[in-house]
Amino acid sequence: MSTRNAAPFHTVVNWDEMPVTQVRPGVRRRVYATDEVMICHHELELGMTLNPHRHEDFDQLVHIAEGRANYYVDGVAHDMRAGSFLLVPRGSEHYVEPTQAPCVNIDFFVPPRADLLP
């Protein structure tokens, strides 16, 4: 384990104890990252500001943990509910629109997104 950061191993973390960032109106984010993976916990409000975007360097695994949302990938809406997963391929335009609150969206990034690292 000499080349990896040993700090995250054997350490319990809880979302409700992590710092929250207001990303834009209606979106709050918590981030947990190791050297190899990043997990982003998003609390989404109905009517939030939508943010169509794309990532060229990594795929994004989306999980709806609570509530319901339409998750758009290249213009196609995917109805997602608590327990749903969706893999968004790199380069695809995507965004989420909550349809039932409270809505919690958890994103997994491998490798971690450099723009969200502290």
SS (H, E, C) 50-69: CCCECCCCCCEEEEEEEEEE
pTM for the model stands at 0.90
Residues 82-100 have a mean pLDDT of 97
Percent of the chain with pLDDT strictly greater than 90: 79
Q: For 100-111, write each residue's pLDDT tens digit.
A: 999 999 999 988
CA distance 19 to 48: 20
What residues pair up with 103 in beta bridges, in sequence order?
44
Q: For 52-79, write each residue's pLDDT tens digit.
A: 999 998 899 999 999 999 999 999 999 9
SS3 content of the chain, % helix, strand, coil (to 5): 5, 50, 45
Burial of 78 (0-12, 13-18, 19+ CB in 10 A): middle
Residues 78-107 have a mean pLDDT of 97
